[in-house]
Structure 1
């Protein structure tokens, strides 16, 4: 993602429990050697890190604590079990992507459709921008597909 979220959608991201996730890594330098060392010690068949002091795994509680997610509230999108993904896309964002494939939309479409929040937006449009930003977080960082180019509307 190109930059931090607009201050105009900050409250909506906080309400959805995504503000902390949206600000993670800003101004932080990653240590590539440390990341490579962890990758080398990761065992995908057991989903654990093999370290000199033993085996370790990342639990859902670890993820919740690190990302600051609330675990006792409704999902951001609610129930989205539908065959009409165009309707789901419109309900969430106020726009319909021309390229919806199995409930997935392109990340580029999100960036093009919701480029910047400005002061002239209504509350509903700000909510839609916040939802688009959350989808970018999910599709870009939290649960990317192999191409890092698509995100599911659920």
Structure 2
């Protein structure tokens, strides 16, 4: 599909005409907020992602780090399996444990599904900045961020900067697939 992507207009040129994925598609199909605070990348110089990960989730990464802000996805999955077996969440679980587990799952959803990378085996921990206060999750425009991320990924691939596209593939598949089925 990258050959059909037009970065100037953010549209796919198909045999039946042009198709694009809109904010309305993101909101209606996946229920992601398109209104709210923008997600922007702020990386304070004092921030240590491994320390933040431990503080917010209780997970202590060992040799699982890839650069300054990336973590092996498999190590996070293994940690979650172990924690779930040793300390399953129940009605009597302390709220701090529930919040830590929720942050781990959110990190997997954000870093591995909504905002994936082409490396596949690792994921960004930059989303820790947005999941510290779980009550604020609904205040962000996740839908706009997912769409902008997808546009950027297709732009880079169509201009030859990358060979692969890393985007929220269910959105791409459902929106563009509907247009292609009309062919």
TM-score by length of 2: 0.50
Pairing partner for 1:126 from 98, 103, 117: 98
The equivalent residue for 2:54 is 90
The equivalent residue for 1:52 is 15
Q: What is the SS of the residue equivalent to 1:55? A: strand
Cα deviations across residues 48-104 of structure 1 (Å, max 9, x unaligned)?
22223321222344223322123445689x966454112211122122212322211
* Larger relative contact order (Cα-Cα within 8 Å, sequence gap ≥ 6): 2
Q: Contact 2:6–2:13 at 8 Å: present in 1 too? A: no
| Residue 43, structure 1, aligned to residue 30, structure 2 | no
Q: 1:43, CA displacement in angstroms?
A: 2.1
Q: What is the SS of the residue equivalent to 2:54? A: helix
1:54/1:48 CA distance change after superposition, 3 Å = same
The equivalent residue for 2:115 is 143
1:91/1:42 CA distance change after superposition, 3 Å = farther
- Structure 2 runs not aligned, ≥5 long: 127-183
The equivalent residue for 1:103 is 69
Q: Contact 1:41–1:51 at 8 Å: present in 2 too? A: no
- Structure 1 runs not aligned, ≥5 long: 1-38
